[in-house]
């Protein structure tokens, strides 16, 4: 089946099996490997991308469901000149990562969180990120990073 969508500002058209997951299409067909596969059950959030303005766990969505959609992956957050998105910069500056496996999904969820909840408190940030699992950081620096990214995105 033919699927067409916009990924990181570029049109993409793929011939895919109807059962192809969005994460597979992104990683295997478009070679956008920043979107990680963690659990394959929508539990960990490592595969989170933005679809039509909302965070989506791409391991739990068929590529066909994204037909016609506008998708942003971690590769699409930075500016074309390489300048990091404010949330990416905040994760780096606040040491909101360790092993890095959850980081791309966490950053994408944090961007969505700040877009839809621009004044979220630290407690609300923790609650809103509950669909993303990190086994390394203890979350304190992630919350600090989201707060710093939130402030930068608001300005």
What CATH architecture applies to the domain 2-76? Roll (3.10)
| pLDDT, position 155 | 83
The rounded distance, in Å, linking the Cα atoms of 106 and 96 is 9
Residue 150 has pLDDT above 90, yes or no: yes
* Residue-range domain boundaries for the chain: 2-76, 86-154
| pLDDT, position 102 | 87
Q: What residues contact 144, with CB distance under 8 A and at least 6 apart?
A: 94, 96
Residue 84 has pLDDT above 90, yes or no: yes
Which helix (H) or strand (E) element contains residue 140? helix 140-154
Residue 100 has pLDDT above 90, yes or no: no
Rounded average pLDDT over 34-43 = 87
| pLDDT, position 3 | 97
| pLDDT, position 123 | 95
Rounded average pLDDT over 139-143 = 92
Residue 38 has pLDDT above 90, yes or no: no
According to DSSP, the β-strands at 2-7 and 70-72 are: parallel
Rounded average pLDDT over 105-121 = 95
Helix-helix angle 140-154:103-116, to 10 degrees: 50
Fold classification of 86-154 (topology level): DNA polymerase; domain 1 (1.10.150)
Q: How many other C-beta atoms can be found within 10 angstroms of the C-beta atom of residue 63? A: 25
Rounded average pLDDT over 108-119 = 95
| pLDDT, position 86 | 97
Task: Identify whether the C-beta of residue 42 lies closer than 8 Å to the C-beta of residue 60.
Answer: yes
Residue 94 has pLDDT above 90, yes or no: yes
Start-to-end CA distance of the chain, whole Å, equals 43
Choice among 34-48, 62-76, 115-129, 140-154 with the minimum mean pLDDT: 34-48
The rounded distance, in Å, linking the Cα atoms of 56 and 64 is 14
Residue 52 has pLDDT above 90, yes or no: yes
């Amino acid at each position: 089946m033919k699927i067409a969508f916009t990924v990181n500002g570029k049109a993409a058209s793929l011939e895919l099996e109807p059962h192809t997951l969005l994460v597979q299409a992104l990683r295997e067909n478009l070679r956008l490997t920043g979107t990680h596969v963690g659990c394959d059950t929508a539990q960990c959030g490592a595969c989170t991308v933005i679809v039509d303005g909302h965070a989506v766990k791409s391991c739990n969505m068929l590529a066909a469901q994204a037909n016609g959609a506008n998708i942003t992956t971690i590769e699409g957050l930075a500016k074309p000149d390489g300048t990091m998105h404010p949330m990416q910069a905040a994760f780096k500056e606040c040491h909101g990562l360790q092993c890095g496996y959850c980081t791309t999904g966490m950053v994408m969820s944090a961007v969505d969180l700040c877009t839809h909840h621009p004044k979220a408190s630290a407690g609300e940030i923790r609650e809103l990120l509950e669909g993303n699992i990190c086994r390394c950081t203890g979350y304190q620096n992630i919350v600090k990073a989201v707060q710093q990214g939130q402030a930068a995105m608001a300005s």
